[in-house]
């Protein structure tokens, strides 16, 4: 009986303390399958500069929105997103990793972000709206900066 009471007490403590454990959504792990499913629901959504809703997205607004839908809060801009996570070599990309590009002709650094979905493909918001592209596409291949795993 004493062991049972001890076990119940420990179980209660674990459950009770987990209610108050603080893990910010910025630190929470993301399920890549859920993230990609949310992203794919938005294919065809129009591009809108500064857009962060299904009425229209810019690239970082799309990434911000899809992550928020699965419980992870990211910074709002691609440059700020690039400061997060762990660098990943292109050959080691996994679904859910963020992929960064420089599409600016005049500025250095990062200006575009996409979500890697596997099989050398990314999903992102571009001028034609939310779509899937290949990393082998000559345009994206030449603009590639790096990738991060959150």
Q: Token pair for residue 23? A: 């893990």
User: Which of the residues are catalytic?
Assistant: 59, 112, 124
């Amino acid at each position: 009986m004493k062991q049972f009471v001890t076990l119940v007490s420990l179980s209660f403590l674990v459950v009770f303390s987990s209610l108050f454990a603080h893990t910010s959504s910025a630190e929470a792990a993301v399920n890549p399958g859920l993230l990609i499913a949310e992203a794919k629901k938005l294919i065809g959504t129009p591009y809108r500069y500064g857009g962060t809703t299904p009425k229209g997205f810019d690239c970082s607004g799309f990434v911000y929105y899809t992550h928020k839908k699965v419980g992870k809060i990211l910074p709002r801009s691609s440059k700020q997103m690039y400061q997060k996570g762990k660098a990943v070599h292109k050959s080691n990309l996994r679904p859910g990793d963020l992929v960064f590009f420089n599409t600016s002709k005049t500025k250095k650094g990062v200006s575009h972000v996409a979500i890697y979905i596997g099989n050398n493909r990314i999903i992102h918001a571009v001028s034609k709206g939310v779509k899937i592209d290949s990393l082998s596409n000559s345009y994206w291949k030449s603009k590639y900066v790096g990738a991060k795993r959150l």
